[in-house]
Amino acid sequence: MEYHEQIEEIISTAKFGDLIEFSYPIGYSHWGVYDGDGYVVHFAVAEEGKFMNRVRTSLQAWFPVCGDLLLGSTKIRRMPVGEVTVPQGAHAYISNNGHAFRASDPVEMRKRRDALLDQQLTYKLLNLNCEHFATFIRYGKSVCNQIPGKAKNVECEEATETFQKIVDTGKTDENVNSEETTKNFNCEEKGDDVNSEEPYYPHYP
């Protein structure tokens, strides 16, 4: 079956919350979650464009691991299934049977999706990758079964906690750090203003 036919089959049969696996010919996969209407939500590169696509292709040729590993800051994005960038020879299909967990209620999946969509995070091969994201949306637990030497179907608690914190608070660690920096800067500015005032000398009759 040609790749475009695989995409058409996904769009015609997938349901919201299904895991979509983009299997690369070298044995690794990129993962996303079907979001209905032909769209997938996945942990993807924040900036696309021809240049980034070329960089991604080159890096995948040298170090082809789940998702967009070496491109630094990555973003959780919603896009048409057929527009997810994959290397030549990749296969795409619904893959709900590769993890030993029960799917969450769709209401809970949507809550997680809504909280995480468009969030920008740092991609970590072992502790925060595309499969961790996709399984968290579907199961509420982050799992990655394609890390060499690691047991399968074991929750990555660090990834789960990272995603769940965003769901609970709406903030990433990066956002919190940025807010703290801004807060400290504002405090310093206020301090400077106080120090710049004329000293007060009490007047005694």
Catalytic residue set = 30, 42, 130
Task: Give start and end residues of each alpha helix (H) in the chain.
Answer: 3-13, 50-62, 106-116, 130-139, 157-169, 173-195
CA distance 116 to 104: 16
CA distance 137 to 17: 8
Residue count of the chain, please give it.
Answer: 205
CA distance 51 to 159: 30
CA distance 50 to 143: 32
Backbone angles phi, psi at 68, to 5 degrees: -100, 65
Q: Name the pairing type of β-strands 29-36 and 19-23.
A: antiparallel
Nearest to 134 by CA among 49, 66, 54: 66
CA distance 103 to 45: 26
CA distance 19 to 36: 12
